[in-house]
Structure 1
Amino acid sequence: MYLEKLEINGFKSFASKNRLIFSGILSNEKRGLTAIVGPNGSGKSNVADSIRWALGEQSLKTLRGKKSEDIIFSGSDKKGRLGSAEVSLHLNNSDKNFTLNINRNLGEEKSENDDNLNKILATCDHIIITRRIFRNGESEYLLNDNRVRLTDIQMLLAKANFGQKTYSVIGQGMVENFLTVSAAERKDFFDEATGVKQFQIKRDSSLNKLESSYENLRQVDMLLLEIRPRLKSLTRQVEKLKKREEIEKDLNSNQINYYSHLWHDINGKLRKANQELLVLEKDKQEKEKRLEKFNEELIKIQTTDSFKEINELEPRLREKESQKNQALKEISKLQAEMEAKLEAQGQFDLSWLSSKKSELESQLENIAFEINSLEKLNPEKEELLARAELEEITKKLQANSQLKYKKQEFEREKNLTENKISRLETIIAANLEAKGEIDLDWLKNKAQELRTEKEELTNRLAVFKAETENNKKESLRNEIAQVEKELNNLQGSLNDISERLKENKEKLKGREEIEKLVDDFLNRLDQINREDSLEKIKTLIAEAKKDFGTKIKNLISGEDEKSLEKIKLIQEKIISLSETKQKLNTDLAEENYRLNSLSEKISFNQEKFQAKERELNDLKIKIEKAEIKFDFAGTENEKRELEKEIKNIELAIKKIEKNDEELSLSKKRQITEKVLQEILIKKSSLQERRRLLGEKNEGLKVELGGIVAKISKGSLKFDAEQIKSEEASINLRVKTLNEDISQLRQELDILKEKQEKEKTTMFELQKNTQAKQQELNLTINDLNKIQMEAARQETKLEDLEASIRNENLSILEIENHPRPEEISGTDFLPKKINSLKNQLDQIGGIDPEVEKEYEETKQRYDFLKSQTDDLDKTIISLEEIIAELDKTIKKKFDAEFKIISEKFSEYFKILFNGGEAKISKLTVEDNKDEKNKVASEEEVQALASLSEEENRVKNEIDKKLKKIKQLRKHGGGELEGIEVQAVPPGKKIQTVTMLSGGERALTAIALISAIISANPSPFVVLDEVDAALDEANSERLARILDDLSDKTQFIVITHNRASMKKASILYGVTMQADGVSQLLSVKLDDLEKIE
Structure 2
Amino acid sequence: MARCGTKSSARLPNRECALVRLTKLEIHGFKSFADQTDMVFEPGVTAIVGPNGCGKSNVSDAVRWVLGEQRARALRGAKMEEVIFQGSSARRAVNLAEVSLHFENDDGALDIPFREVVISRRLSRSGESDYFLNGAACRLRDIHDMVRGTGLGADSGVVIEARMVDALLSDRPDDRRELFEEAAGVGLYRDRKRSAERRLEETTTDLARIDDLIAEVHSQVRSLARQRKRAERHGELMARRFTLEVAHAAREMSAWFGELNRLEERVTLLRAKLPAAEETLRTAEATRETDLAERTSAEARRTELARLVADQREAAQQLRGEIAVAEERLRNAMSRRERAEEERREGDALAGRVSGDLERASTELAELQAAFDAAEEALSAHAQHEDQVRSGLTTARSNLEQGERALRELREELHRAHLDRQSAERERQEVAERRAALEHEQAHLFDAAEAARCELAAADDAAAIAATRVAETNELAASSREALRQAREREVAAREELIRAEDLHTALSAKLNALEGLERERVGLAPAAARLLKERGIFGEGAVLGPLSDFISTDANAAALVERFLGPTVNAVLVRDRTVAEAVRAWHASAAPGPLLLLPVDSTNGETANGDGRSDDLAQLVTSSSPARGWVRSLLGQVTSMESGTAFVDARGAVWLPAPESGPGPLRRRAEIADLRTAVANAATARHTAGATAESERVTLASAERAAIVAQEAASQATRESAEAGDRSGAAGRRYQRAARDAAEARALIERLSERETATLSRIDGLTVSSQEIEARIAEREASVAGAREVLASAEQMQDEAREHRTASQIRRAQAQAQLEVASDRFRHLSEEFASATGRVESLQVELTTLSSADANLTGQLSQWQTELEARERTLENSEDKLEQAERGLLEIDERLTSDEHSLAEMRRHTSALSEELHAAELRYTELSGRRTAIRERLEAEWKKPVDELLAGAESLEMDDETLRSEAALVREQLDALGPVNPLAIEEHEEETKRLGFLTTQRDDLNSAKNSLQQAIREIDITARELFLQTFVQVRENFRNIFMTLFGGGECDLRLENPESPLEGDIEIHASPRGKRTQRIHLLSSGEKALVALSLLFGIFLTKPSPFCLLDEVDAPLDDQNIGHFVRMLNRFKTKTQFIVITHNPRTTTEAADAVYGVTMQEPGVSSLVSVRMRGKTVDETITPAHPAHTPQLHDEPDAAETAPLTA
Tell me the TM-score normalised to structure 1 length: 0.45
Structure of greater Rg:
1
